[in-house]
Structure 1
Amino acid sequence: MKTFPTPEALRRFPFGLADVAVIFGTLVLLAVVSRIGAGALVSFEPPDVVPSIDLDIRNLPYYAGRSTLRMFIALFFSFIFTLVYGYIAAHSRRAERVLIPLLDILQSVPVLGFLSITVTGFIALFKGSLLGLEAASIFAIFTSQVWNMTFSFYQSLRTIPRELDEAVTLYHLSGWERFVKLEVPSATIGLVWNAMMSFGGGWFFVAASEAISVLNQSYTLPGLGSYVAEAIARENLSALGWALLTIAIIIILVDQLFWRPIIAWSDKFRLEQSQAAESPESWVLDLLRTARIPRLVGKALTPLTDTINRVLASLTPQRCAIVVDPMMHNQSDRIYNFILLLIVGGLIAAGLHFILTTVGLGEVFTAFELGLLTLGRVTILLIVATLIWTPIGVAIGFNPKLARLLQPVVQFLASFPANFIFPFATLLFIKFNIDINWGSILLMSLGAQWYILFNSIAGAQSIPTDLREMADDVGLKGWKKWQKLIIPGILSAWVTGGITASGGAWNASIVSEIVSWGSTTLAANGLGTYIAKATEVGDWARITLGVGMMSLYVVGLNRIFWRRLYELAETKYHV
């Protein structure tokens, strides 16, 4: 197996060798981004025609670069949204009662739903430029990444160890200092693994985000997803094979150059009193730590960052305990609940009016019954994925050697867009006469099961090493160890994985319950098929009903089941 030089070995090299590598890599990255980004700035005005996708394999590097750039831009905005939204939801009980159910609803809305609603606005915002279509595509990818990350950050803030929270209060840290010194570091490991999962999950929706319909006109943006869609449409197996090889290379490069260094860097935020036996390693991080230029740039920026920190600290004073009159508090809560009830009542009344004047009440019962079938598939998926992937995730999280060996494999499997192999699955179902009502569970799991695995890994890594050592010292093994240490330690992270896997499975049902290859189409009975067929014929009444019914299922399950598990993790199983 190939090994990379350690920081000590790199320091023995001639002066500046690591710095030359950093400079060269930075210049290459800037050149590639400039070359790829220039394609998004060309003029465009509907109903202009976007150049069609060319299946010549020489175009694959450029198409892959366009898709990868969209993924990273969407990831950047996902981080910003996560930090703001998750912080507000975790620190305001009243805001939480609105923001978390809203997050449940947003998670349940299909990516294509966001795309169809926002594309016209983005085109108007960037009038005369292809940047409008690019922004719409990036926003669609953003909606496939952000909800999982936001749930993770919110839950991490709600389960910060009490002694650390008390220490921050005793040291009189400002709100900004608390945020950067306690809250973000405490959430980093879980957030990194969920971001990695979200980034991989984003590939699942790349093809849909690069094919845009507006003003009765369809446009296909250059990208790897649109290339694969064109290869499938033309039944070109050779082009499809080259595209799959390309995305495999992209996933490996992104893992080595981006995710592996971040995972190794984030290990310093582990909450424990003893050092882990082994820590994650990355040759890229070792190179950056050895080079002198990053340190010199950091020192040059220190005065600016210190000034920004002082300003933000002065603007966010320490939170003080406020004594509230219980009667005033109860009266304020009653007013708040009354206003919330009015809003919800108004939405329900509007929904009933829409139903009665368009599809009719009978169609509602049909959508509800189809939702039960999809719910059954989602439930089976969650149970099987938990039994299979939770022990594997814990093993990876507890063993750094195993993590170094399997993390690239796991990242590759999770990042590989499952819908790219749906045509092959369709042929398999036809050949072996597999009922799509059962086969769709497998297709849904290809994209959703990884949320449970990645959160199990993050949860296991967050368990302090001293607790693991203590468990070994007292002889905890087998089920007793799971009962006393592992399950309490990973429950919070597993719930985040379960809730996002559930939402992802509902979303994926739209493309998993109905699949095709050529003229052959297999359709399962379920809410996903209902929405897909309504979308195909442009039946907005049934599209709205289907999406609304899916949102009711997701939100209802989250409030009845997942929210109670969240509360259990916050109260009983709290480090």
Structure 2
Amino acid sequence: MLKVPIAIPVLPFRFKIIDLFILFFITGILSLIIYTASGWRYEMQPEIQISLDIKYIPLYSANSLVRVFFAYFLSLLFSIWYGYTANRSPLHEKIMIPLLDVLQSIPVLSFLPGVVLAMIAIFPHKRIGLELASILLIFTGQVWNMAFSYYNSINTIPRELIEVTKVFRHNRFTKFLHLDMPFSAIGLIWNSMMSVAGGWFFLMACEMFVLKDKDFRLLGLGSYIQTAANQGDMVHVLYGIGSMILLIVLIDFLIWRPLVAWSQKFRFETVQSEEERESIVLNILRKSSFVRMLTSFASFCLKKIEVFFEKFDSRVKTKSQIIRKIVFFILTIFVLILLLWASLKAIILFLTLSLSDYYSVFIAAIYSIFRTTAALFIAALWTIPLGVYIGMNTKASKILQPIIQIVASVPATAIFPVILLFLLKIGGGLGIGSIFLMLLGTQWYILFNVIAGASSIPQDLRETALIYKISGIQKWKTLILPGIFPYLLTGLITATGGAWNASIVSEYVTFGGETIKTKGLGSMISESTVTGNFGLLLLSTLLMAIIVVSINRIIWKRLFMLAQEKYRLD
């Protein structure tokens, strides 16, 4: 007689109409992924023609949607791993967090040459190479704020909760599952929204780009909008943006609203809020027998994994520490060799530049510093009060959440002609216009994080403030600012990098066959990418990274330490 090694729970299954719709929906999603990914195996065409016929928009939308969410899931896994690993020891933290500062300061286009050439080399003449390159480029625009959010969340977990896990001798997986993930859920979900919005924002740059004398294109909404913009066809630009907005609304309704409503169960409070966030989709899923069966099975599997880790930790704790040290040593040697090789290559590239190039990059950096600082200041002025209002007001969140997702996702370069024409009429130019474009790519990092922070303020603290009639400035000083402070810092850190990232599309714009640019590091990076001047590209990127890391180390790092020491829910 065949014996089953584990006992799988048998749950009563009562089929409902809702289950039929859910099964159809899941089947449709899987079919979409399979259909889209099946085209990746074909040969890469020299130059794909992007048709502006609106009948192709559904196909382009499907391709872009799959790319954005492939990149998102990759970003989610990376963020959790990176934040968790950085939090494990002071040594990891000292190495990984500065590295994260550097990586998030590098613009998408600076990753472009290396990523594209590497993927094409791995998959020569295959479309999958270009597809993976596009996904990785979208990934670089999504991942950093999520990694910062998760790391900052688990770093501000109340000490008494950490002590509880130690008292009950929870293993690493149990602590991760029952403390780290729940405590970071709200911030991670709101930053996920921002990341996906960022994916749409940079979609034009990630699906259609020029590298030296080669023109790379992929079928997608980003390519559609970029092609229409290059031809000066505002009608089809609006068709593309309209399709993108429709996708964003559907994603908000089907994914983000249910997740936001579900995540409220993880608020650190002892008093339940009277106004709970609701979602029609979440209510439907809760009534589904099929979903209940899946969640029960998932819980069962997680419990088995917990048991496995319990045994694994107790058996190989000492051995694993030795193995980790050996692996860490090998990786350190490998990284040092890689850095040495990269440094030699960089020196060779730098030797190809003239003194005037170095001077131009330095002057360009000054212009970009002023623009990014202005954009960050303007963004903070309105996003903090609005974010607090949305986060602490359930009714406002229901109305405004999808709106800000839509606005945050619209590619700035697609609506730039309207902004530019307006600025030209009032006497401005791209020098000023680029600040507004940076705002479109920066302000959302602050807004989404402030919303997450405000929505995570415990209800009992809110009611205490109400009982003692604390309002106005006093409420901001004693409740709101301390409550949102860690989240606000995450937003400001990622917004700083986001502003510099946005400079590549705000200081160098192509529309109607014409290129409009202004002096700045972003413009220099974009132009260097197009012309294939890799020495200037590397120098500009390196200087940008140094500036962003310096800001993070001098300003944001000190404030983050203050948040850890003073503004924890202990």
User: Is the Cα–Cα contact under 8 Å of residues 269 and 459 in structure 2 kept in the other structure?
Assistant: yes
SS of equivalent to 1:574? coil
Measured after TM superposition, the shift of residue 343 of structure 1 is 9.4
Distance 1:214 1:530 in 2: 14
After TM superposition, list the pairs within 5 Å mapping 1:203-282 onto structure 2.
Answer: 203-213=200-210, 216-282=213-279
Q: CA-to-partner distance for each residue in 1:196-243, whole Å, 9 max, x for gaps?
A: 101101111111111255694322110000011111122222222211
1:375 aligns with 2:369: yes
Aligned with 1:67 (options 58, 64, 67): 64
Distance 1:534 1:130, change over 3 A: closer
Mark the runs of 5 or more structure 1 residues left unpaired by the alignment: 1-13, 321-334
Aligned with 2:197 (options 193, 200, 214): 200
Measured after TM superposition, the shift of residue 534 of structure 1 is 2.2
Distance 2:184 2:239 in 1: 39
Distance 2:483 2:124 in 1: 51
Q: CA-to-partner distance for each residue in 1:109-133, whole Å, 9 max, x for gaps?
A: 1212212102222223334531111
The match for 1:480 is 474
Aligned residue identity for 2:72: L
Distance 2:294 2:436 in 1: 49
Measured after TM superposition, the shift of residue 448 of structure 1 is 0.9
User: Is the Cα–Cα contact under 8 Å of residues 176 and 316 in structure 1 kept in the other structure?
Assistant: no
Distance 1:278 1:318 in 2: 48
The match for 2:27 is 27
User: Is the Cα–Cα contact under 8 Å of residues 460 and 489 in structure 1 kept in the other structure?
Assistant: yes
1:456 aligns with 2:450: yes
1:413 aligns with 2:412: no
Distance 2:102 2:314 in 1: 34
Distance 1:124 1:520 in 2: 32
After TM superposition, list the pairs within 5 Å mapping 1:490-529 onto structure 2.
Answer: 490-518=484-512, 520-529=514-523
Distance 1:120 1:540, change over 3 A: closer
SS of equivalent to 1:297? helix
* Count of aligned pairs between the two proteins: 543
Distance 2:136 2:245 in 1: 24
The match for 1:44 is 43
Aligned residue identity for 2:380: T
Distance 1:167 1:456, change over 3 A: same
Measured after TM superposition, the shift of residue 443 of structure 1 is 0.9
After TM superposition, list the pairs within 5 Å mapping 1:107-506 onto structure 2.
Answer: 107-213=104-210, 216-316=213-313, 353-354=347-348, 357-361=351-355, 363-506=357-500
SS of equivalent to 2:202? helix
Measured after TM superposition, the shift of residue 360 of structure 1 is 4.2
After TM superposition, list the pairs within 5 Å mapping 1:531-570 onto structure 2.
Answer: 531-570=525-564
SS of equivalent to 1:258? helix
Distance 1:379 1:482 in 2: 24
The match for 2:89 is 92
Measured after TM superposition, the shift of residue 354 of structure 1 is 4.7
Distance 1:301 1:88, change over 3 A: closer
State the superposition RMSD in angstroms: 2.7
Distance 1:435 1:29 in 2: 45
Distance 1:348 1:211, change over 3 A: closer
Distance 1:319 1:161, change over 3 A: farther
Comparing 417-426 with 245-254, greater Cα deviation is found at: 417-426
Distance 1:420 1:214, change over 3 A: closer
SS of equivalent to 1:219? strand
Comparing 435-444 with 308-317, greater Cα deviation is found at: 308-317
Measured after TM superposition, the shift of residue 181 of structure 1 is 0.5
User: Is the Cα–Cα contact under 8 Å of residues 112 and 137 in structure 2 kept in the other structure?
Assistant: yes
TM-score (norm 2): 0.89
The match for 2:5 is none
Aligned residue identity for 1:419: T
Measured after TM superposition, the shift of residue 429 of structure 1 is 2.9
The match for 2:323 is none
Aligned residue identity for 2:488: W
Measured after TM superposition, the shift of residue 26 of structure 1 is 1.9
Q: CA-to-partner distance for each residue in 1:4-34, whole Å, 9 max, x for gaps?
A: xxxxxxxxxx961222221222222223333
Aligned residue identity for 1:281: E
SS of equivalent to 1:440? helix
Mark the runs of 5 or more structure 2 residues left unpaired by the alignment: 1-13, 318-328
Distance 1:32 1:534, change over 3 A: closer
